Amino acid sequence: MLFLIEVLQVLAGIGSLVCFILVIVRMFQEGETAMAVVCLVLILCCIGGLVAFIYGWINSRKWGISNIMLIWTGLITAGLLLRLTLFFSFGGPMIPWQE
Residues 6+ apart with CB under 8 A from 7: none
Tens digit of each residue's pLDDT (9 = 90 or more) over 60-88: 999 999 999 999 999 999 999 999 998 88
**pTM: predicted TM-score of the whole model, two decimal places:** 0.89
How high does pLDDT run on average in the chain?
93
3-state secondary structure of 15: helix
12 or 88: which leads in pLDDT:
12
pLDDT above 80 (res 94)? no
Phi, psi of 76 (to 5 degrees): -65, -45
Residue range 16-27: average pLDDT?
A: 98
